[in-house]
């Protein structure tokens, strides 16, 4: 790396840490009584089914409405004000704010620490993620003074949680937003850039794109339903064929996906996906996805996490699903403390922050940073 400036706080690169099997706290939590160690034998059959006709009031009961979710987020902000900040990144088609919880010992401040984001409810009929993300936030708040893993995340990471990217779709109990657009097909695509005009995107998509321009996220994950697997880039191929197509940081992504899978109750035991992980293009190619856009345009390593074979399970199953995913969700965030390049770029001549880029030798991918932004 030949640059006319200095990189401060340089730690290990992702590519040098592939020997790690788990981040701090990487052991699975104790399994709840009555659970059995069984392999997962799911399939893709639920992913594209429109759930609206199957979700009656009885099934939806127990899930937070959009109004409930807003109240819960704001209540969290009041209860945990010393380690959190509540803000909105925009509004949905129908004007519902897209609320975010930031968790950090210095929320809202710029530090030489990695930033991680979780996004739930990308598809309106996949609401488990929006519930589990509130479980996650509250667990960290309740335990950061007594649990080393929770304390480490609060002290060393800026964790941003968007429980619902698609509140309109949730209200309508369907995959798409209020305009019936699949938000995970609405991002600019590297292979088929039919329309790169940001203003032509859905408001929820634009909100995510602007969010990444405001904050440099080191890594990210979106929570989905309909299968049980940790999915990583690339999500599509240039010829639209279904085959393995790894991105330049393929090893790093497989490492990250494995952290989630092996920390999960039974994801790694999948009979369909070896180790509970999959390359997106080898599973089923998609185009206009959020995951690939994050990596290409934001320098953000994002996973797509399918966390429940049932898209909309009964609400009484949510505590169990939280126990299944708890350590996975925590360990994925904590992995940033063991891996990655963190720091800030300064001019060696003036000592002031400058525009710069980072390239790891042997990996054909460059992360660009504007001044005053931490990697």
Cα–Cα distance measured from residue 151 to residue 214, given in angstroms and rounded to the nearest whole number: 26
Q: Which among 70, 131, 302, 306 is annotated as catalytic?
A: 306
Provide the strand spans (E) within the chain.
5-8, 84-91, 97-103, 115-119, 158-162, 219-224, 227-232, 277-279, 301-308, 344-347, 356-359, 366-369
Q: Within a 10 A sphere around the Cβ of 320, how many other Cβ atoms? A: 14
Active site residue 126: no
Contact between 262 and 213 under an 8 Å Cβ cutoff? The reply is no
The partner residues of 160 in beta bridges, in order of sequence, read: 102, 117
Please check whether residue 184 is in contact with residue 293, taking contact to mean a CB–CB distance below 8 angstroms. no
Q: Are 66 and 126 in contact (CB under 8 A)?
A: no
On whether the CB atoms of residues 212 and 368 are closer than 8 A, the answer is no
Helix (H) / strand (E) containing 85? strand 84-91
Residues with catalytic annotation? 306
């Amino acid at each position: 790396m030949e640059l006319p400036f200095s990189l401060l706080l340089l730690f290990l690169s992702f590519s040098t840490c592939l020997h790690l099997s788990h981040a701090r706290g990487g052991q699975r939590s104790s399994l709840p009584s009555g659970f059995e160690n069984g392999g997962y034998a799911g399939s893709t059959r639920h992913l594209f089914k429109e759930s609206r006709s199957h979700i009656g009031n009885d099934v939806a009961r127990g899930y937070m409405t959009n109004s409930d979710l807003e109240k819960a987020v704001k209540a969290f902000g009041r209860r945990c004000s010393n380690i959190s900040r509540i803000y909105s990144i925009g509004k949905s088609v129908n004007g519902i704010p897209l609320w975010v919880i930031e968790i950090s010992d210095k929320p809202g401040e710029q530090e030489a620490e990695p930033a991680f984001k979780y996004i739930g409810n990308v598809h309106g009929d996949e609401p488990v993620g929006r519930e589990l993300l509130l479980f996650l936030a509250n667990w960290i708040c309740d335990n950061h003074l007594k649990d080393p893993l929770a304390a480490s995340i609060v002290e060393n990471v800026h964790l941003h949680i968007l429980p619902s990217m698609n509140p309109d779709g949730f209200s309508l109990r369907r995959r798409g937003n209020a305009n019936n657009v699949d938000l995970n097909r609405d991002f600019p695509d590297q292979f088929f850039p039919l329309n790169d005009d940001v203003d032509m995107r859905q408001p929820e998509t634009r909100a995510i794109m602007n969010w990444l321009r405001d904050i440099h996220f080191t890594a990210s994950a979106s929570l989905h339903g309909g299968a049980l697997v940790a999915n990583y880039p690339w999500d599509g191929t240039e010829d639209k064929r279904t085959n393995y197509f790894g991105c330049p940081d393929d090893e790093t992504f497989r490492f990250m996906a494995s952290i989630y899978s092996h920390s999960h109750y039974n994801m790694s035991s999948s009979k369909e996906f070896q180790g509970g992980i999959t390359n997106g293009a080898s599973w089923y190619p998609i185009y206009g996805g959020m995951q690939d856009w994050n990596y290409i345009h934001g320098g953000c390593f994002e996973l797509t996490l399918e966390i429940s074979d049932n898209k909309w399970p009964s609400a009484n199953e949510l505590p169990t699903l939280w126990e299944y995913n708890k350590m996975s969700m925590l360990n994925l965030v904590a992995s940033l403390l063991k891996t990655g390049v963190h720091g800030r770029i300064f001019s060696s001549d003036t000592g002031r922050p400058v525009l710069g880029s980072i390239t790891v030798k042997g990996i054909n991918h460059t992360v660009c940073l504007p001044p005053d932004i931490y990697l």
